[in-house]
Amino acid sequence: MNGEFYREATITTSYHGICNVALSMKNTIPILHGPSGCFNYEIASLVISEKQGHHAFTSNLLATDLAYSSFDNLQKAIIDAYIKLKPELIIVTTTNVTELIASEQILDTIIEEIRRKVPIPIVVIYGNTLNDNMYQGIDKALTILIENFAKEQQLINNSVNIIGPVKGIYNWRADLLETIRLLKSTGIKINSIVPAGASIKDFEKLPAAQLNILTYPYDFGLTAATHLEKEYGTPYICTVPYGVEDTIKFLEKLKEFFPNLSKNIDRLIEKEMRFWGGNLIDDLDISGYTIADSPIAIFGMNTLIYGLTKVLEEDLWLSPKILGVKNKENPLLSKFYRKMKKKDAKILFEPSKEEIVDVLKENSPYIVFGSFIEFLASQEAKIQHFIPVSEPIRYFSSRYLDAPFRGIRGASYLLHRIWEETIKYVYSYAEIGEEESWELKFEEKALKHLIETLNKVPTFVRSKVKFAIENLLKKRIGKTKRKVCLEDVKWAIKEAMKLKPK
């Protein structure tokens, strides 16, 4: 597949994250101070948001505005947004174009003058788009909104805030609903959820909760939680309930803050484990034993990489061997990444499209978890099995967005999805042919003998055997670059039969 088919960047920039925060909130309008073309990337998301009753404006910056450092279009956009939609909050952010002509201080000064003409709060969030990615944009927006609106409150017993659910993050609704289900099943009250569905009042009452729960702590939200702890004394937890072990850890952690609800939490753990046991018996008979220890590739943000690795390794007996992290390494996960490197996992931070294709071709993982970018890369690398789990998300059917990845129910859902992919694999009758992608050059008789041999191998292990034989042949041929002869193939087949499955 030609790379022209997926020119789209593997990660978006900070103003996309800031706009996603604004579009997640009630009665809030994001205004992008920049050329109208800067919204092109998000056009599909904006159309969906429009249908859901959310709106976005741009200052439609022109070349003449740049030449004269004019802010008239920005003022017009803010006043138009207020007159037409009467929002309760306007969030102004920037692109790299406007950041070249206006510093954060200059923009603040201009907005201060506009505030006198508009009787609602206007919050400026400087994008710093040349350095920050989408996740950092979300983190900055959350922190600034909390700094602007959080107020001292009387504590509410047995209450928590959920910080992090936001548009643009894959599966955020399902993740949020599963988190709410786990909390409410123990008797814990939800005080505020930010930013998804939040209003200014939800930000104001954040200090009333006894505990803050971060849904994506290794990517964004931690700065906001740290601010709430410093200013209002509200503790927070970073444990994310992915898989059986971490879900139990998450629930056990809640006991430390709500000891009066310990019995409820114990009952929930028992109930969830019964649910997991039933799903394990139903689906693991094929998935677990057929593809146990098969190499897996995961592409996504830090929290997703960590969570999915835990589920796949500990609950489903699979081996994540390629971790493509779409943002920078989080210091909190340094120990985790060191551990994965010791297990010979390849870890790429902010990989380019070319790096993604190369690593997939080189390692031939059994299943790829990722976004539409990785789906196209998988097609190019001739990998059959793909499960969508990451942003950008707009190209996938909504049916993939309705099931949780977290909690024991999330582990059960992932188990079933992998079971479906395994069934496709086990009952695939496609034979290897001469048009198959071979990295080596073969003599005619040698290739014919290899293909005939591989087509006799059961389908569910054929790719592993092919991969092992090719590796043996590469070592045998070395740097000579000669063609593989019949004798080489016969030797490699015998050697491959001696190899123990990993």
SS3 content of the chain, % helix, strand, coil (to 5): 55, 15, 30
Q: What is the distance between the alpha carbons of residues 432 and 422, in angstroms, rounded to a whole number?
A: 18
Residue 324 β-bridge partners: 299, 348
User: What would the DSSP string read from start to end of 427-445?
Assistant: T--PPP-TTS--SS-B-HH
Residue 291 confidence (pLDDT): 60
CB 174 within 8 A of CB 401: yes
Residue 370 confidence (pLDDT): 92
Sequence-distant contacts of 455-460: CB under 8 A, at least 24 apart:
455/431, 459/425, 459/426, 459/427, 459/428, 459/429, 459/430, 460/290, 460/291, 460/422, 460/425, 460/426
pTM over 0.95: no
CB-based burial, 117-138: b 16+ in 10 Å, e otherwise: ebebbbbbbbbbbeebbbbbbb
- The tokens for 98 are 């406007």
- Alpha helix locations (H) across 343-390? 353-363, 372-380
* Residue 320 falls in which region: left (phi positive, over 0), alpha (psi -120 to 50) or beta: beta
* Residue 435 falls in which region: left (phi positive, over 0), alpha (psi -120 to 50) or beta: alpha
Tens digit of each residue's pLDDT, the chain (502 residues) = 444 444 444 457 898 899 899 999 999 999 988 776 665 555 555 555 555 566 777 776 665 555 555 678 888 889 999 999 999 999 999 888 777 777 888 888 889 999 999 999 999 999 888 889 999 999 999 999 999 999 999 999 999 999 999 988 888 988 999 999 999 999 999 999 999 999 999 999 999 999 999 999 999 999 999 999 999 999 999 999 999 999 999 999 999 999 999 999 999 999 999 888 766 655 555 444 456 667 899 999 999 999 999 998 988 888 899 999 999 999 999 999 999 999 999 999 999 888 999 999 888 888 999 988 899 899 888 888 888 888 865 555 555 556 788 998 888 888 888 877 776 665 555 566 665 666 788 899 998 888 888 877 766 567 778 888 888 888 888 777 789 999 999 998 888 876 654 4
Q: What is the distance between the alpha carbons of residues 436 and 18, in angstroms, rounded to a whole number?
A: 45
Residues present in the chain in total:
502
Q: Which residues contact 83 (CB under 8 A, 6 or more apart)?
A: none
Residue 317 confidence (pLDDT): 80
Residue 7 confidence (pLDDT): 45
**Helix or strand holding residue 298 (H, E):** strand 295-300
DSSP tag of 261: G
Q: What is the distance between the alpha carbons of residues 407 and 416, in angstroms, rounded to a whole number?
A: 14
